[in-house]
Structure 1
Amino acid sequence: MNKNNRGLTALAALMATLIGAGTANAADTQLVRIGFAGPLTGPSAHQGLDVEHGVSIAIEEANQQQLKLGDKVAQFKLVSEDDVADPRTGTAVAQRLVDSKVAVVIGHYNSGTSIPASKIYADAGIPQISPSATNPALTRQGIKTVFRVVNDDATLGRYAGNYLVKTLQAQRIAIFDDRTAYGQGLADEVTKAVKAAGGNVVVREYTNDKSTDFNAILTTAKSQKVDAVFFAALDYQAAPMAKQMKNLGLKARFMNIGNLPNDEFKKMAGSAAEGVYAWNYGTPLLEMPKGAAFEQKLKAKFGTGVVQSSPAAYDATWAAITAMVKAQSADPAVYLPVLKSESYEGVTGTIAFDEFGNLKSPAATVFQFADGGWKTLSVERD
Structure 2
Amino acid sequence: MKHRKATACLRQAAWALAPILLTAASFGARAQEVVKIGFTGPLSGGQAAYGTDNRDGLLLAVKELNAKGGVQVGSKKVKFEVDAQDDAADPRQGVAVAQKLADEKVKYVIGPYNSGVAIPAGRVYNEAGMLLLTVASNPKVTELGYPRLFRVGVNDAQVGIAMAVYAAKEMKAKNVAVVDDRTAYGQGLVQEFVAEAKRQGLNVVKQEFTTDKATDFTPILTSIRSAKPDAVFFGGYSSQGGPMLRQMVSLGISAKLLGGDGICTTETSRLSGNVADGKVFCTQAGVILGKADAGRAFAAKYKAAYQRDPLTYAVSFYDAAMLLADAMQKTGSTDPGKLAEALAKGSYQGVAGEYSFTDKHDLKSSPVSVYGFKNGQPEALSSF
TM-based fold match above 0.5: yes
Find 2:319's aligned residue among 304, 315, 322: 315
2:29 match: 26
The partner residue of 1:50 within 37, 49, 53 is: 53
Q: What is residue 70 of structure 1 aligned with on the other side?
A: 74
Corresponding residue for 1:106?
110
CA distance in 2, matches of 1:373, 1:181: 27
Question: How far is the alpha carbon of 1:234 from its aligned partner?
Answer: 0.5
Unaligned runs of 5+ in 2: 1-13
CA apart distance, 1:23: 5.9
Contact map agreement 1:212 1:240 (CA 8 A) in 2: yes
3-state secondary structure, aligned to 1:246: helix
1:376 and 2:370 equivalent? no
Within 5 Å, which residues of 2 pair with 1:249-288? 249-275=252-278, 276-288=280-292
Map 1:179-218 onto structure 2 (within 5 A): 179-218=182-221
Find the residue that maps to 1:375 and give its secondary structure: strand
- Mapping for residues 162-181 of structure 1, pairs under 5 Å: 162-181=165-184
Name which one, 1 or 2, has greater alpha-carbon Rg: 2
Give the corresponding residue for 1:7.
Answer: none
Identify unmatched segments of 5+ residues in structure 1.
1-12
Q: 1:340 aligns with which of 338, 344, 363?
A: 344
2:334 matches 1:330:
yes
Counterpart pick for 1:225 among 216, 225, 228: 228
Is 2:361 the partner of 1:367?
no
Q: Which residue of 2 aligns with 1:127?
A: 131
CA distance in structure 2 between the aligned counterparts of 1:45 and 1:22, rounded to whole angstroms = 44
Q: SS of the counterpart of 2:233?
A: strand
Match of 2:301 among 297, 306, 314: 297
Amino acid of the structure 1 residue aligned with 2:215? T
Report the alpha carbon displacement of residue 22 of structure 1 after superposing the two structures with TM.
Answer: 7.4
Q: Give the match's secondary structure for 1:320.
A: helix
Distance 1:184 1:323 in 2: 34
Greater CA drift, 96-105 or 43-52:
96-105
C-alpha spacing 1:308/1:327, structure 2 compared with 1 (3 Å): same
Deviations 1:204-225 (A, max 9, x none): 1100000011111110011112
Alignment equivalent of 1:81, drawn from 73, 80, 85: 85
Counterpart amino acid of residue 255 in structure 2: A
| C-alpha contact (below 8 Å) 1:33/1:101 kept by paired residues | no
Task: Report the CA distance between 1:138 and its aligned residue.
Answer: 0.6
User: Paired residues, what number?
Assistant: 363
Whole-angstrom CA distance in 2 between matches of 1:267 and 1:119: 36
The one-character-per-residue Cα deviations of 1:289-315 (angstroms, maximum 9, x if unpaired) are 511111222122222221111111011
Aligned partner of 2:164 among 153, 161, 165: 161
User: What pairs up with 1:89-104 in 2 under 5 angstroms?
Assistant: 89-104=93-108
Q: Read off the aligned partner of 1:164 and give its amino acid letter.
A: A
Match of 1:138 in 2: 141
Aligned to 1:352: 356
In structure 1, C-alpha distance between the alignment counterparts of 2:119 and 2:63, rounded to whole Å: 28
Is 1:242 matched up with 2:240?
no
Q: Which shows bigger deviation, 29-38 or 265-274?
A: 265-274
SS at match of 1:277: strand
Deviations 1:338-373 (A, max 9, x none): 121121121112111111111111011111124554
Shift of 1:24: 5.7
Q: Secondary structure at the match of 1:135?
A: coil
Write the distance in 2 (CA, Å) between the matches of 1:189 and 1:337: 30
| Alpha-carbon spacing, 1:362–1:289, altered in 2? closer, same or farther (3 Å) | farther
Q: Per the alignment, in what secondary structure is the counterpart of residue 237 of structure 1? A: helix
- Indicate the SS of the match to 1:161: helix
Q: Is the 8 A contact 2:158 2:368 kept in 1?
A: no
Tell me, yes or no, if the aligned pair for 1:56 and 1:78 is still in contact at 8 Å.
yes
Alignment partner of 2:45: what SS?
coil
SS class of match (1:30): strand
Compared CA separation, residues 220 and 156, structure 1 to 2 (3 A): same
**Secondary structure of 1:329's partner?**
coil
In 1, Cα distance between equivalents of 2:371 and 2:253: 21
Shift of 1:25: 4.1
Which AA in structure 2 matches 1:73? K
TM-score (norm 2): 0.90
Scaled by the length of structure 1, what TM-score is found?
Answer: 0.90
- What's the CA shift for 1:263? 2.5
**How far did residue 261 of structure 1 move?**
3.3
CA distance in 1, matches of 2:309, 2:127: 36
Matched residue type, 2:59: S
